[in-house]
Structure 1
Amino acid sequence: MKRSLLVLLLIGLVGCGSTPTTNDETKNWSAQKIYAEAKDMLNSGSYDKSIKLFETLEARYPYGRYAQQAQLEVAYAYYKDNEPVSAVAACDRFIKLHPNHPNVDYAYYLKGLANFTEDQSLFARIADQDMTERDPRSANSSFESFRELSTRFPNSKYTPDAIARMKYLVDALAWHEVHVAQYYYKRGAYIAAVNRAQYALVHYPQAPANELGLAIMVRAYDAMGTNDLRDDALRVLQKNFPASKYVNGNFDRKKPWWRFWEL
């Protein structure tokens, strides 16, 4: 008897769980109405609700002009809702489906912005995190999106801001490499320190971080006893950063002043 009651109870629960929802107020809405409501939600800051409506619109009316716009709007909604991974995925999808769309330049720009926003956690807390634990992939992805935008759409209204952000990203990526070099130097890993400083010098030649990078190379080469390479790095430092605090003083091989740099 008890077993029979248990079976009936389980069947009842399964039945309740499988009952379809009937109170979807959007079921009779046109594509235009769903889009308008989704935009209102987006503009009012109700991002999660706007995302649901945009996705409902695309699922219900997949071939209309509102569906294309919804794909782009949902990317922006994810971006505003601090969901950069979803925003990037939505941008990639739009670019793949509509490579010749009049607003595809905005998709590239928004993709760059989403990665740029995610990147802020990478570079904004330099003192709070071990530099070697950071992953600069978001910064690189952001740079590539902005680069593709500025290359493919030089006259886009989004390109000037993209170029400005690219400059920031180059500087930030260079600082990332140099701080990793500094981390290695302080732990006596001199070859690793030189390699990371050289990477920044080669890939980001105009970055201000290279002043410190070259100073680290001089110190690391000196610590390894490779004097020729040390002197070469010192000459490059003096030539490119003549006013640097690292080149103030007289060069004295018997008592090298760079050993007193605070790195």
Structure 2
Amino acid sequence: MATMAAAVLSIAACGSNRNRPKLAYEERPVELLYNTGFERLQSRRWNDAVDYFQEVERQHPYSEWSRRSILMQVYAFYQAGSYTDAIAAADRFIQLFPGSPSAAYAFYMKAVCNFEQIVDVGRDQAFSQAALAGLRDVIRRYPNSSYATDARVKIDMVNDQLAGKEMTIGRWYQRRNQPLAAINRYKAVIDDQAFQRTSHAPEALYRLTEVYLGLGLKEEATRNAAVLGFNYPGSPWYAEAYALLGEQGADRPETAPEAQRESWLRRIIPG
């Protein structure tokens, strides 16, 4: 125990990964370094764990232990909230071991790190776009893996976020009396197959009904309200659209026209 204690330099887990002190170099058995890092992981001492796994890489760069250590760094950085460092470690693994079965984990963690940084719809959605691209890449490369299964769930969540961004911009244009710009944003939600499955589709149809009525285009307003009523008959947005059409003296729709219903359903449920 005394020997091991002398070999270990305790490091505070707080502070920047780049500014905090590193392990003093001392040649040690690879098993000792790796196992100590793993113990730090189990103790949730993420930064300490990273130091030991990096030391494995530095002292034993061509070993199987080094390959494993890079993946452990990805995980430790992710748990510490150091997403940029986690992505860099994942990229390093992919570059060094592109054919490894564990590359699936590296690709997945890159996507998840971007996913975890998604911000509210009022701000730039660069992380949403990066997460979406990464998750799709996981599905394309490893379609039958458990990572792909989770990626599909996360893609639905990202699409809901991006559709929400379109709605936020559309409402902004609508409030500022720029109806054509608003229509383009709302149409983006109902015309995109991915967005049609999100929680924002009913409101997009309602907003189109609202904007078209404001422009005096009652037929277009009725058509969108009909699609809304057919696909979301129990939605409060349909109740709002129905009442709005009545107030404006437009025909209140019972169902969507047959051709339009079929086209809409084919987009929502292919085949």
The two structures have a TM-score, normalised by structure 2, of 0.73
- Pairing of 1:5-84 with structure 2 (within 5 A): 26-84=25-83
Deviates more, 1:205-214 or 1:140-149: 140-149
> In the alignment, does 2:135 pair up with 1:146?
yes
Of residues 115, 131, 154, the one that matches 1:165 is: 154
Counterpart of 2:98 in structure 1 is: 99
By how many angstroms is 1:74 displaced?
Answer: 0.8
Map of 1:1-263 to 2, 5 A cutoff?
A: 26-119=25-118, 122-123=119-120, 131-132=121-122, 134-203=123-192, 204-248=195-239, 249=242, 251-252=245-246, 254-255=248-249
Stretch of structure 1 that moved more, 88-97 or 219-228: 219-228
After superposition, the Cα gap between the structure-2 partners of 1:56 and 1:189, relative to the gap in structure 1 and judged at 3 Å, is farther
Structure 1 segments of 4 or more deviating over 6 A? Answer: none
What's the counterpart of residue 126 of structure 1?
none
- Cα distance in 2, alignment partners of residues 150 and 69 from structure 1: 23
Structure whose alpha-carbon radius of gyration is higher: 1
Question: 1:65 offset after TM fit, Å?
Answer: 1.2
Can you list the C-alpha shifts for 1:86-134, whole angstroms capped at 9, x where unaligned? 2122222222322211111111221222122112xx14xxxxxxx44x1
Match of 1:127?
Answer: none
Q: CA RMSD in A?
A: 2.6
Higher deviation after alignment, 156-165 or 31-40:
156-165
Report the CA distance shift for 1:28/1:90 in structure 2 as closer, same or farther (over 3 A).
closer
* Amino acid paired to 1:245: P
**What is the alpha-carbon distance in structure 1 between the residues aligned to residue 95 and residue 191 of structure 2?**
33
Report the Cα distance in structure 2 between the residues aligned to 1:220 and 1:98, rounded to whole angstroms.
54
Q: CA deviation at 1:24?
A: 5.8
Alpha-carbon displacement from aligned partner over 1:175-196 (angstroms, at most 9, x marks no partner) = 2221222232223232222222
SS at match of 2:100: coil
**Is the Cα–Cα contact under 8 Å of residues 222 and 230 in structure 1 kept in the other structure?**
yes
How far the C-alpha of 1:32 sits from its partner, in A, is 2.3
Q: In structure 1, what is the Cα distance between the partners aligned to 2:103 and 2:170? A: 39
Kept after mapping to 1: 8 A contact 2:218/2:250 = no
Q: Secondary structure at the match of 1:207?
A: coil
TM-score normalised by structure 1 residue count: 0.75
- The structure-2 alpha-carbon separation of the partners of 1:59 and 1:189, relative to structure 1 and needing over 3 Å to count, comes to farther
Shift of the alpha carbon at 1:256?
A: 5.3
**What's the offset of the Cα at 1:25?**
5.4
CA distance in structure 2 between the partners assigned to 1:90 and 1:202 by the alignment? 38
Which stretch has the larger CA shift, 23-32 or 85-94? 23-32
**1:261 — aligned with what?**
none
Identity %: 24
Output the CA distance in 1 between the equivalents of 2:89 and 2:183.
Answer: 40
Q: Distance in 2 between matches of 1:67 and 1:215?
A: 56
Deviation at 1:206, TM superposition (A): 1.8
